């Protein structure tokens, strides 16, 4: 039975109980998108109301605004202010469908994807699955630390921090108290720098009020970076200024150091240094994640998919990759484009335009990335900005960072919530979301329990 895709309602009779995921019948080309991050949603926006059927798959039913994960982790924002339901996002898009499922396998020979809920046939497949934390094979570090690539990671960091601070107020063991109140952040990129700055402000302004039992000086924050500069993808001016801001906030920055082991209490570096800490946050690297089924010879460094300049995965004629998972390897970009939101958004918009032309057998131009600049913040009124030839830092960089991020959040309500929280924090340094909603258990404890 054919279902006219212009109809807003889909009757139950259109669905059959089979191994296939129920979708309305259509004579239009079906574009399946896996992943609703910045790239996936940008593509959806370009294909809405067009002569294609778009099916968006994601293991979550919401989009996550990753640049503000660190603010959820440090109690500045609630998680629901930086997530937005996909179904609300696509409401009114008659040719766009969302299905909550985790894609487990791609079968290119039959143009089929296999999910944990059933299978779906595609005419064109777009992988926008993003990245996950890369612990570089260090199992102990992975078991005892936390990454920051998911909203749940941010909540885990918040609960770990608050539980450990509460336990520090209980214990009479000085060594144990030191371990509970010491924080180690690994990785000096934007995520690590912003996390360190937010933790330092928590220590300076919140700790003395909430925990008068011990001095705020007991909370030490370490930022470990494997090379000799912070924010290596930005200018030297941005790196130098960021280091000054962190030192002003009493963050201990360790250059040319890398973590070699962590047992949950002691961080060991390759040079032999040890740091007593029960809080380790890993922002030192990412790796691509995508379903099995793509030939490994098309996977390059960082577990990314090698594509041509039209974002088509090497070796396939109807499978594309966009966002952090895509590595557009050319003479100009031997390592691919930077894995940042603006790259993902530009690629999603570009692919939306050329897919429609490819379907009509029209000629297309290759993707060209336009770098709009970089921003990073180190707490209130402290930020750095690289905007082409203009490189500046301080209050105006922070104001620009705030405006750009606020306008980028999905949903008017979410922008309002974040803006209100920022306004309150600006005048009071108050972080009102210091709630332990559920007990946090380290992965190592959960694994031991299963055994």
Q: What pLDDT does residue 4 have?
A: 43
**Three-point CA angle 133, 404, 189, nearest 5°:** 30
Active site residue 51: no
CATH assignment of the domain containing 114: 3.50.50.60
Percent of the chain residues topping a pLDDT of 70? 94
Domain boundary among 313, 337, 360: 360
Question: Is the domain of 253 the same as that of 310?
Answer: no
For residue 61, the surrounding DSSP H or E stretch is: none
Residues 36 and 115 reside in one and the same domain: yes
pLDDT band at residue 233 under the 50/70/90 scheme: very high
Which run of H or of E encompasses 131?
strand 131-133
The pLDDT of residue 137: 93
- Report how far Cα 5 is from the mean position of its chain's Cα atoms: 34
Judgement on whether residues 207 and 243 belong to the same structural domain of the protein:
yes
Question: Which of 337, 360, 383 is the endpoint of a domain?
Answer: 360
Mean pLDDT for 114-121 is: 96
DSSP codes of every residue in 386-430: EETTEEEESHHHHHHHHHHHHHHSSSHHHHHHHHHHHHHHHHH--
Nearest by Cα to 291 from 150, 128, 103? 103
Amino acid 19: pLDDT: 82
Distances (CA, A) of 77 to 399, 408, 414, 430: 18, 16, 11, 11
Q: Is residue 314 part of a domain?
A: yes
| Tokens linked to 402 | 């705030």
Is the pLDDT at 87 greater than 90? The verdict is yes
Percent of the chain with pLDDT over 90: 81
Regarding whether 168 and 265 lie in a shared domain, the answer is yes
Domain contains 423? no
Contact 94, 49 (CB under 8 A): yes
pLDDT the model gives residue 439: 86
pLDDT at residue number 213? 86
Phi and psi at 93, nearest 5°, equal: -85, 95
Q: Given pLDDT bands bounded at 50, 70 and 90, which one contains residue 445? A: low
State the pLDDT at residue 18.
47
Inform me whether the pLDDT recorded for 245 exceeds 60.
Answer: yes
Residue 291 belongs to some domain of the structure:
yes
Instruction: Tell which residue, 221, 75, 80, 224, has the closest CA to residue 159.
Output: 75
What three-state secondary structure class fits 251?
coil
* Structural domain contains residue 86: yes
The least confident of 80-89, 114-123, 202-211 is 202-211
pLDDT score recorded for residue 328: 95
Residue-level pLDDT at 12: 38
Q: Is position 196 within any domain? A: yes
pLDDT of residue 155: 95
The pLDDT assigned to 362 comes to 93
Asked if 159 and 114 sit in the same domain, the reply is no
State the pTM of this model: 0.91
Same domain, 207 and 115: no
pLDDT tens-digit profile of 267-276?
999 999 999 9
Residue from 134, 440, 162, 148 nearest 281 by CA = 148
Beta-carbon contacts of 339 under 8 Å, excluding residues fewer than 6 positions away, are 131, 286, 323, 324
Determine the pLDDT at residue 8: 37
pLDDT, averaged across the chain: 91
User: Using the 8-state DSSP alphabet, how is residue 336 labeled?
Assistant: -
Are 270 and 303 in the same domain? no
Residue in 20, 51, 194, 314 annotated catalytic: 194
- Distance (Å, whole) CA 148 – CA 135: 12
DSSP string, 5-30: TT-S---GGG---SSBPP----SSPE
CA distances from 346 to 22, 25, 162, 168, 216 (A): 31, 31, 38, 46, 44
Looking at the fold, whether 125 and 201 belong to one and the same domain comes out as: no
What value does the mean pLDDT take over residues 42-59? Answer: 97
Tens digit of pLDDT for each residue in 344-396? 999 999 999 999 999 999 999 999 999 999 999 998 899 999 999 999 999 99
Would the CA dihedral through 328, 334, 336, 337 be positive or negative?
negative
Residue 345 DSSP symbol: H
Residue 430 inside a domain? The answer is no
Mean pLDDT is lowest, of 3-17, 39-53, 249-263, for: 3-17
Q: Does residue 441 lie within any of the structural domains?
A: no
Dig out the tokens for 293 from the structure: 């089924």
Mean local confidence (pLDDT), 268-286 = 96
Is residue 97 located within the same domain as residue 216? no
Question: So what's the pLDDT on residue 425?
Answer: 81
CB 189 within 8 A of CB 282: no
User: What integer pLDDT is reported at residue 426 of this predicted model?
Assistant: 76
Q: Closest Cα partner for 99 from 30, 2, 6, 7?
A: 30
List the domain range (segments joined by +) for residue 221: 142-284
Choose the weakest-confidence range: 46-60, 93-107, 184-198, 435-449: 435-449
Domain end (from 253, 284, 315): 284
Assess whether 36 and 107 both reside in one domain. Answer: yes
Radius of gyration of the chain (CA): 23
Count: domains in the chain: 2
Q: Are residues 156 and 261 in the same domain?
A: yes
Strands, E, within 278-382: which ranges? 279-282, 286-288, 299-300, 304-307, 319-321, 326-328, 374-377
339 falls within a domain: yes
Q: pLDDT digit string (tens) for 305-328?
A: 999 999 999 999 999 999 999 999
Residue 1: its pLDDT value, please?
A: 34
Element (H, E) at 106: strand 103-107
DSSP-H helix ranges across 93-138: none
> Taking the mean position of all CA atoms in its chain, how far away is CA 390?
27
279 & 177 share domain = yes
β-strand partners of 115? 103, 118
């Amino acid at each position: 039975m054919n279902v006219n895709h212009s109809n807003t309602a889909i009757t139950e009779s259109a669905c059959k109980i089979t191994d296939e995921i129920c979708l309305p019948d259509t004579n239009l080309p079906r574009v399946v998108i896996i992943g609703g991050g910045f790239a996936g949603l940008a593509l959806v926006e370009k294909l809405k109301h067009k002569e294609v059927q778009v099916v968006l798959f994601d293991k979550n039913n919401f989009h996550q605004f990753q640049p503000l994960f660190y603010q959820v982790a440090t109690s500045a924002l609630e998680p629901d202010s930086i997530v937005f339901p996909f179904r609300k996002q696509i409401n009114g898009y008659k040719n766009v469908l969302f299905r909550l499922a985790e894609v487990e396998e791609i079968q290119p020979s039959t143009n089929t994807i296999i999910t944990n809920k059933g299978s779906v046939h595609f005419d064109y497949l777009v992988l926008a699955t993003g990245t996950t934390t890369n612990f570089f094979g260090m199992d102990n570090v992975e078991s005892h630390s936390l990454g920051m690539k998911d909203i749940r990671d941010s909540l885990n960091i918040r609960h770990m921090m608050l539980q450990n601070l509460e336990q520090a107020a209980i214990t009479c063991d000085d060594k144990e108290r030191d371990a509970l109140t010491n924080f180690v952040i690994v990785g000096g990129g934007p995520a690590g720098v912003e996390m360190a700055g937010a933790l330092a402000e928590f220590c300076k302004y919140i700790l003395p009020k909430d925990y008068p039992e011990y001095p705020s000086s007991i909370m030490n924050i370490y930022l470990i970076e494997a090379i000799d500069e912070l924010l290596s993808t930005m200018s030297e001016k941005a790196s130098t200024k960021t280091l000054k801001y962190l030192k002003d906030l009493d963050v201990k920055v360790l250059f040319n150091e890398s973590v070699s082991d962590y047992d949950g209490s002691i961080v060991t570096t390759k040079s032999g240094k040890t740091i007593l800490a029960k809080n380790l946050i890993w922002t030192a690297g990412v790796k691509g994640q995508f379903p099995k089924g793509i030939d490994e010879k098309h996977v390059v460094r960082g577990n990314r998919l090698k594509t041509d300049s039209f974002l088509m995965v090497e070796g396939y004629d109807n499978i594309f990759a966009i966002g952090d998972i895509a590595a557009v390897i050319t003479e100009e970009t031997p390592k691919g484009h930077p894995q940042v939101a603006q790259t993902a958004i530009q690629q999603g918009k570009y692919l939306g335009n050329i897919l429609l032309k490819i379907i009509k057998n029209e000629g297309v131009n290759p993707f060209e990335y336009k770098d709009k600049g970089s921003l990073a913040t180190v707490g209130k009124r402290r930020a750095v900005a690289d905007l082409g030839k203009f490189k500046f830092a301080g209050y105006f960089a922070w104001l620009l960072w705030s405006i750009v991020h606020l306008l980028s959040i999905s949903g008017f309500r979410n922008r309002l919530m974040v803006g209100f929280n920022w306004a309150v924090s600006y005048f009071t340094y108050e972080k009102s979301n210091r709630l332990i909603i559920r007990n946090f258990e380290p992965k190592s404890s959960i694994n031991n329990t299963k055994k």
